[in-house]
Amino acid sequence: MIRLQFYGLLRLMLSGKESLELPWHEGDTVGLLLEKFQAVEKIPVTGKLIDEHGTLHAGTIILLNRRNILHLKKLDTQVNDGDVLALFPPGAGG
Amino acid sequence: MGNGWHGKLLRVNLSEKICTIEALNMDWAAAYIGGRGLATKYLTEEIDPTTDALGTDNKLIFATGPLTGTYGAANGRYMVVTKSPLTGTVASSNSGGYFPCELKYSGFDMIIFEGKAEQPLYLKIHNQHAELADAAHLWGKTTDETEDQIRAEFHGDAKVACIGPAGENLVRFACIINDKHRAAGRSGVGAVMGSKNLKAIAVRGTGGVTTANPSGFREAARETLKMLRTHPVTSEGLPALGTAILVNIINQSGALPTNNSQFGTFDKAESISGERLVQTYLKRNKGCMGCVIACARVTKLTGSRFTGSGEGPEYETLWSLGATCGISDMAAIVKASYLCDEYGMDTITIGSTVACAMELYQRGLITEDEVGMPLNFGDADVMVKLVEMTGKGEGFGNKIGLGSYRLADSYGVPELSMTVKKQEFPAYDGRAIQGMGLEYATSNRGACHVRGYLVSPEILGLPEKLDPQAIEGKAAWAKAFQDVTALVDSAGVCLFTTFSIGVPQVTRLLNAATGSNHTDDQMMVAGDRIWNMERLFNLKAGITPAQDTLPKRILSEPLPDGPMKGIVSRLPEMLPEYYSVRGWGTDGIPTAVKLQQLGLV
Ligand code: SF4
């Protein structure tokens, strides 16, 4: 299983839901998991993270086991069984 | 004058009780932009940098920028510039709210306070009329009470900036609060105000501010507003969750200093997160004057343990009164945050100082007898109590009021103070985010996040993503961010706009407002000039380049947990490159050539 964790606006949109488990399949990537996530939700959620061309928004943070996928293979990063994927729509502060 | 300026400064001699109006030095305004830059120029010209920060000879300057009171990019900021009693460096603290625009609309661009009042006074400004009034009846009152009282006796629509009891008691990190909840927060500017027996400034201004090129300004403002309204950070993230959104981001990144930086993650971060704040005490968001972002949090405590309402806490406060004290009790943090506003104290420094005291207690250096209670990490009630005692100047609170460096030093362990140049770190571990470590070490007012917010590229990926662990190129990034921030602070614009707009937009607004025709590069040079001027002030004040460093813990104790486990700051590798990109000598002193280029000799 893969655990998806929701933060920021995503959590607010999902009425406070903090996480979700999705079954893992050989060959899963971060991008594929986002598609699966969208398929199980009734409202459009992944648009908060990626645009209509499937490009990450400026400021979107996706951490795979606490490593930013921008320093891995971005949406093509391979995901392994038991991994944790933390999803943060763009946010900032100081 | 019709160019973003009125061309007037108000000089207030508190010793003589005299207010005089002077022409603003427009040559300086052109070279140093305004706000932070211009006020620092005045400070540099008018005080001896070695002077006692709490002595009569220090001056306290309230400065707007040429964009303060205009529109387009959250243009409602001012700076308080003085010599800091916490660090001994130049201090310049920024705040928003409604006071800065009101000051501008009174027809004054800047106020310089000098001398020291014999008795408590406050300054009343009604457009071009300024007078000092007795403040004996306000002394001892909280910032809330002070503002209410002044509005009742002076003008119902006046905007007020004032100190609370902490400023009066010369707490080294006392701040100046305006509009009840906005703080010129860091470096102890409130203590300087208290040392001058100046309780408050109340302004009623009904004029405006005009720009040199109104149609060009409208166009420039239309562009910036569009960018702010469409960028996901400034249009969605900040309004919905405020700065508090960072708690989970920074914790997951392994960069949330916990238990006085003994750890880089906090296992209870979720309990003090922005998401949790939305679900508990948040009532609505709110903006400073004219701001389309509206990141402020209006909150109210419900429940039996603590009561009150106000604004905040911000991310920094959730961390300082939370994670770094090992505290996960949101209600206690919200309460302590309110108390900090009411007493007028910097939440970052007080939280970090309480955390330092907790570590001293953990190590047996501070005893229960001294504090009057046990002082364990994680004890929220004790934290709230200490905040109150510090604000009131009671018991062990007087030691907390010195800041963590002087506190730890008094026990012979200054290295346990998580400071640079005696100012406490904000909420990012300098090991986990290498560029931030460099930025803390080189910041002109001691450790600070709003002198060059490298968290933005290193963690948030804005404007592009950098690896927080890489050190290559970080020196140039630090310089660029420091210079841009100096420009933005001087213009009168909120730094948060720079998550979506950049130097071209600020330059365009400045050109249209002031009638100049600067290039982006020239504006970056202005930022560099301001940075170097601050550096020169510090050098003359006796702050040597040897103080461009980090506590031993950050340099040599590897992070024991989280994704950045095993890592220390690589500052020694980055610092020489930083000096080099700054055009300074290897000794960290700006070279004659550099100063010549910047027009600083
Ligand atoms: S972004 Fe936030 S702090 Fe900045 S001006 Fe707007 S409301 Fe104030």
Tokens of B41: 């120029």
| Residues B279 and B418 occupy one common structural domain | yes
B245 belongs to a structural domain? yes
Choosing from B363, B391, B423, the residue where a domain stops is: B423
pLDDT at position B471 = 98
Q: Which two tokens stand for residue B174?
A: 């006392």
Amino acid at B65: G
Within-domain flag for B162:
yes
Report the alpha-carbon distance of residue B521 to residue B507 in Å, rounded: 9
Ligand 1 within 6 A of B293 CB?
yes
Give the DSSP letter of residue B244. G
* B79 lies in the same domain as B146: yes
Q: Which among B395, B423, B451 is the end of a domain?
A: B423
* Co-location of B403 and B441 in the same domain: no
Both B16 and B150 in one domain: the answer is yes
Residues B23 and B55 in one domain: yes
b/e map B547-556, b = 16+ CB within 10 Å: bbbbbebbbe
Q: Clarify whether residues B171 and B257 are in a common domain.
A: no
DSSP B268-327: TGGGGSHHHHHHTTEEEEE-STT-SS--EEEEEE-SSS--EEEE---HHHHHHTTGGGT-
Query: Looking at residue B343, what is its pLDDT?
Result: 98
Residue B325 lies in a domain: yes
Classify residue B179 as left (phi > 0), alpha (psi -120 to 50) or beta.
Answer: left
Whether residue B368 is found in the same domain as residue B495: no
B323 lies in the same domain as B460: no
Q: What is the mean pLDDT of residues B434-446?
A: 98
pLDDT-based confidence at residue A42 (cuts at 50, 70, 90):
confident
- A63 interaction partners in chain B (CB closer than 8 Å): 252-253
Regarding whether B57 and B84 lie in a shared domain, the answer is yes
A92 touching B (Cβ < 8 Å): yes
SS3 content of chain B, % helix, strand, coil (to 5): 45, 15, 40
Total number of domains in chain B? 3
Confidence of residue B303 (pLDDT cuts 50, 70, 90): confident
Q: What pLDDT, on a 0 to 100 scale, did the predictor assign at position B1?
A: 75
The verdict on residue B51 lying in a domain is: yes
Cβ atoms of residues A6 and A12 within 8 Å: no
Element containing residue B361 per DSSP (H, E): helix B347-362
Residue B222 in any domain: the answer is: no
Q: Residues A84, A5: contact at Cβ < 8 Å?
A: yes
Does a structural domain hold residue B275? yes
**Ligand 1 centroid vs B312 CA: distance in angstroms?**
12
Residue of A12, A71, A93 lying closest to B246 (CB–CB): A93
Among left, alpha and beta (phi > 0; psi -120 to 50; other), residue B184 is beta
| CATH number of the domain within which B171 lies | 3.60.9.10
Q: Which of B260, B110, B94 is nearest to B186 (CA)?
A: B94
Question: Would you say B464 and B470 are in contact if contact means Cβ atoms under 8 Å apart?
Answer: no
B500-525 confidence digits (pLDDT tens): 999 999 999 999 999 999 999 999 99
**Residues found in chain A:** 94
CB burial class (10 A; 0-12, 13-18, 19+) of residue B471?
middle
Residues B79 and B149 both lie in one domain? yes
Given a cut of 90, whether residue B122 has pLDDT beyond it is yes
List, in order of start, the domains of chain A with CATH numbers. Answer: 2-88 (3.10.20.30)
User: Is the pLDDT assigned to residue B556 strictly greater than 80?
Assistant: yes
Mean pLDDT of B588-597: 98
Of the candidates A68, A89, A94, which has its C-beta nearest B232's C-beta?
A89
- Please report whether residue B296 resides in a domain: yes
Domain that holds residue B476: 433-499+519-597
Domain identity same for B181 and B330:
no
Contacts of B215 (CB under 8 A, 6+ apart): none
Beta carbons of B568 and B275 less than 8 angstroms apart = no
Determine if ligand 1 sits within 6 Å of the CB of residue B326.
no
Q: Are residues B410 and B445 in the same domain?
A: no
B430 Cβ below 6 A of ligand 1: no
B29-48 per-position pLDDT tens digit: 999 999 999 999 999 999 99
The CATH number of whichever domain residue B553 belongs to comes to 1.10.599.10
Asked whether residue B73 carries a pLDDT value surpassing 90, the answer given is no
| pLDDT number for residue B448 | 97
Q: How far is CA B301 from the centre of its chain?
A: 26
CATH of the domain at B368: 1.10.569.10
Average pLDDT over residues B275-293: 95
pLDDT recorded at residue B462: 94
Contact A59 B462 (CB under 8 A): yes
Domain boundary among B393, B423, B453: B423
Computed over every residue of chain B, the mean pLDDT equals: 97
A7 and B238: CB-CB below 8 Å? no
Find the helix or strand (DSSP H, E) in which B134 lies.
strand B129-134
Whether residue B291 has its Cβ less than 6 Å from ligand 1: yes
DSSP letter assigned to residue B263: B
Ligand 1 centre from B98 Cα, in Å? 11
When pLDDT is averaged across residues B321-325 and rounded to a whole number, the result is 98
Question: What is residue B381's predicted lDDT score, i.e. its pLDDT?
Answer: 98
pLDDT at position B363: 98
Mean pLDDT, residues A49-78: 95
Query: Percentage of chain B with pLDDT > 70?
Result: 100
Neighbouring CB atoms inside 10 A of B557's CB total 14
Pairing of strands B8-13, B18-23: antiparallel
Chain B residues with at least one Cβ partner in A under 8 Å: 231-233, 236-238, 240-246, 248-249, 252-254, 270, 274-275, 278-279, 295, 314-316, 449-450, 453, 455-456, 459-463, 465, 467, 495-496, 499, 562-563
Instruction: State the pLDDT at residue B33.
Output: 98
Q: What is the pLDDT of residues B353-395, one digit of tens each?
A: 999 999 999 999 999 999 999 999 999 999 999 999 999 999 9
pLDDT of residue A25: 96
